[in-house]
Amino acid sequence: MPKEFIMRGKTPSGTTEILEFGSQARPGYGYRLTEFQILSSTDITQQTVELAASITADNSHEDPANPNFNNDGLIATAIWNLDFADYQATHVIINDLFVITQDLILAVVDTKTGSPQDVNWQCRFEEIKLSGAAEAVANFKQYSIYNTSQ
């Protein structure tokens, strides 16, 4: 049975947070992002909310409100819309084949409210055993993404 764990938090709109893997990774293991969720941190019963978030394995974050899917380091993006009178929509895209061996960058933004609100987020990761060759490939992939991006 695969080992899973959750990281979650509350991040101010327009800021980034480091999800630490590099210093805590066990040799011979990598991780896959299997679930990514975002939610408002304020009372949603009387307002319209539009939140966006992105997770990258890169040297800088990907703009959550305008993600570039040509970025090989983009692992996940999510948008959460809530118009309390009409609709609620959540869209999440995850590259669950990306093997994580180094730190990630989470970026969040509240694009709709007059005064930006904090964004609650939760990520579920699955630990995977890697052969020596697979670990080397995963490390090289993240290293090359980190060192060739702008």
Q: Are strands 48-56 and 29-40 parallel, antiparallel or unpaired?
A: unpaired
Fold of the 3-148 domain:
Jelly Rolls (2.60.120)
SS3 130: coil
CA triplet 138, 70, 95: central angle to 5 degrees? 50
Q: Which residue has the higher pLDDT, 114 or 139?
A: 139
Do the Cβ atoms of 126 and 85 come closer than 8 Å?
no
The answer to whether 80 touches 95, Cβ cutoff 8 Å, is: no
Assigned token pair, 125? 């990761």
CA distance 69 to 57: 13
pLDDT value of residue 6: 93
N-terminal to C-terminal alpha carbon distance within the chain: 39
Please check the confidence at residue 25 and state whether its pLDDT lies above 70. no
Q: What is the mean pLDDT of residues 47-61?
A: 87
Locate all alpha helices (DSSP H) within the chain, ordered by sequence: 132-148
Percent of the chain with pLDDT over 70: 83
What is the percent of the chain where pLDDT is above 90? Answer: 43
| Widest distance between CA atoms in the chain | 54
For the chain, the structural domain boundaries read 3-148
